[in-house]
Structure 1
Amino acid sequence: MSTPDTERRLREAFDALAREVRPAPDAYRTVRGEWLRRERRRRLVLAVLIAVVFTLATLAGLWVLNNAPSGPGAIYDDPRKSVPSAPVLAPGS
């Protein structure tokens, strides 16, 4: 059997099989409905995931802020305490 003969026979067999296949009358509507349900579910899962991540990030930030030391830090030190006061000169001296 040669290659062109095999290809011809396969094409004829597939054509005969394709002529016998009939789609269901509501196949498109059924498949589209399933696709829309999956799309809605994907969007719902994504929205819930975003809400959970946002909530966890907010709670973690609040927890970190709540556990910060309450004493004065290096940034917010009172500048009057760290700078020596200059002597006050009387006017006219």
Structure 2
Amino acid sequence: MTHQNTTPSPGASADRTERELREALAALAGGVPEATPDTYRTARGEWLRRERRRRLVLAVLITVVFALATLIGLWVLNHAPAEPGVIFSGTGSPAATSLPRPHP
């Protein structure tokens, strides 16, 4: 019985792989449309417009949040009671009146 080697040599396998890869990349490149000369300029302009709009929306959002926080803070301060609270109603501090005096 003779044993025949059915495995291709390493060089033939590399050539086949390279050829298949080249064919696949050529087929992939064939599906990509040709770019016109001003395609980059158009895409960059659209990107810059989107970037400006995003920054403008962010600035408006920050301004609205800041104004809302300021208005809420002023409203809370305006509704605070006008009379002094329990802590400030005495002549001395609460801690000083509650501690026993040392004996001389």
After TM superposition, the score normalised by the length of structure 2 is 0.61
Letter in 2 for 1:38: R
Matches within 5 A, 1:1-93: 4=14, 5-6=16-17, 8-15=19-26, 18=29, 21-74=33-86, 76-77=88-89, 82-83=91-92
Letter in 2 for 1:31: A
Higher RCO (CA-CA < 8 Å; seq separation 6+) = 2
Letter in 2 for 1:12: E
Residue aligned with 1:44, SS: helix
- Following the alignment from structure 1 to structure 2, what is the Cα–Cα distance between the partners of residues 27 and 49? 33
Structure 1 ranges of 4+ moved more than 6 A: none
Letter in 1 for 2:20: R
Number of equivalenced pairs: 79
* Cα RMSD, aligned residues only: 2.7
Gaps of 5+ in 2: 1-7, 93-104
* Sequence identity percentage: 66
Gaps of 5+ in 1: 84-93
After TM superposition, the score normalised by the length of structure 1 is 0.67
Deviation at 1:25, TM superposition (A): 1.5
